[in-house]
Structures are given as structure tokens and as C-alpha cells.
Copies of this chain bind each other. A is one copy, B any other.
Amino acid sequence: MSANSRLTVAAHTLTWIGLYQRRGHEVATSEQIAASVNTNPVVIRRLLAQLRKAGLTDSRRGVGAGWMLSRNLSAITLLDVYEAVEPGPIFALHRSAPDPECVVGHGIAPAMTAVYDGIEATLRKELAGTTLEDVLQNVLNAT
């Protein structure tokens, strides 16, 4: 499908900040997070800016700058993160509209849309069932 890693990296990032704050630190820098994720700090800053727009994080500038969570890990579900970083749907319809004169060409888009809508709804329900606190606990139990 050409899946991307944004949900994974976003969950990693937020969980990292949450654990870091829990250990008594005020803010986390994009450089620290990038070291854990093994990527470039700009990639993390871009992601965190999206998450801030969604109200999940906040940032501080100047000396002592860095990032913090806007809410507790237990108050952030994977659905929140998903909606913040994944704009589009999972399945796409036709690239260019099919022949409207053909019965199938005319009716296939609404038919598939109905199926896809059901799938997206189920996906959301599933994502909403896991909080980042759950993820952190799972991480800490991973030996």
C-alpha cells in the first residue's frame, strides 16, 4: 500500500516525551527525540508541529526551549494521534471518474464508499481503544 510510518513515529515521540516528563524533566528537545527515533530533528519538529495543531503538544522557545505534552498520556488515544498525522482515507476511489453510462461505472463508487466508510469507522473505534499510557505500559513490559 505504500504505508507511511507517521503514526508509529508520532506514538514513539509522544510516549518518549511522556516518559521523560514522568522522570522529572520539564521539556524534551527535538534532538533528543530524534536520537531515540533515529531520524533527523527536523522530521520530529515537523511532526510535533502537527501534533501541536491538534492540541496534543506544546512548545517553548528561546533558552530552555523544547516540547511538552498538552495532556497526560492516558488522555491521548491512538485515534487522536492518527487524526493529527493522517489526513487521507485508507482506500482511494478511481483516479479518474469511470464511465457514467455504464451501470457498473455509475454505481461502483457509492457502493465501495459505503464499504470504505464502514472500515474507517471500525478502524477509528479500534484506535480509540488504545491510549498512549497503554502503549507506554506495553513498552515498559517489553523487557
Contacts and interface: CB of A to CB of B under 8 A. Distances in A.
A139 B111 contact: yes
B5 A92 contact: yes
Given A11-B112, A19-B104, A107-B142, 19 more contacts: A1-B1, A1-B87, A3-B88, A3-B89, A3-B92, A7-B91, A8-B93, A8-B112, A12-B98, A36-B99, A37-B99, A38-B96, A38-B98, A38-B99, A39-B96, A107-B140, A111-B138, A111-B139, A122-B123
A85 B64 CA distance: 50
A114 interface: yes
Interface residues of A, number: 60
Given A107-B139, A142-B107, A98 B37 contact: yes
A95 to B, nearest CB: 6
15 contacts: A1-B89, A3-B88, A4-B91, A5-B91, A11-B112, A12-B105, A12-B108, A16-B104, A37-B105, A38-B97, A90-B90, A107-B140, A107-B143, A111-B135, A111-B138
Contact of A108 (B2, B8, B109): B8
Interface string A36-77: 111100000000000000000000000000000000000000
